[in-house]
Structure 1
Amino acid sequence: MACRISELVLGCREPEVLARFWCEVLDFVVLDREEDGSVEIGPREGFGGAQPTLLLSPEAEPHPGLPRLHIDVSATDRDQAAELERLLALGARPADIGQTGEESWHVLADPEGNVFCLLRARIEEL
């Protein structure tokens, strides 16, 4: 195994409202709040556990052509650079969705153009 789904990212108007809702639905807790207003929720054991976390990201309006939900993956058996090479060899391609270039993750598109991110964090295989 080389990757696991580590986060599901949902663009939304009111991250705090959705965090409260999904915490109740899934019996999750708030794991982190970012300066940009994003709220990450997940199981009590936190990021990298058996279940992916849910990152609720503030977004006033949906971006044309981009889904409001995308997958973040984390390598399990190699570093981010090696995993990026592997994903590109499999047919992923870099995607520009307006990132600054300072991000710690890589934005990629699968062969059909679906956007996903490769995070820097490495998590254990299950």
Structure 2
Amino acid sequence: MACRISELVLDAEDPGRLAAFWCGVLGYVELGREDDGSIEIGPPGVGFGGAQPTLVLSPHRGSGRGKLPLHIDVSATDRDQDAELARLLALGAVRADIGQSGRESWHVLADPEGNEFCLLRRRLDPLETV
């Protein structure tokens, strides 16, 4: 039996702000808050342990801006890449310049705290929720 990714943890200066951003990006909902200020978000009606990993936004003070050792790649499920790019930018994402040539099939963006993530070209089928 192999392991599965159950959750991804992102350090955040403002967990509430990042939770709202990533809920908007992924269609997730808030699942819970811990005493330390961490906020867990995940698929509605499924939560922890489902087919998609949850995200935990953990309070952290410090300069963690820029390229994370782990970053998130997202793919649109119900629109083309250009339409999804427009939606992400409207949610508060910004374009990030990491030396792209302009010929890449993906867009490099940053969330409201500057954490880089990529919008891939390939569309994915949405996962069924339980």
TM-score (norm 2): 0.48
Instruction: Give the number of the structure whose residues are more often strand, by fraction.
Output: 1
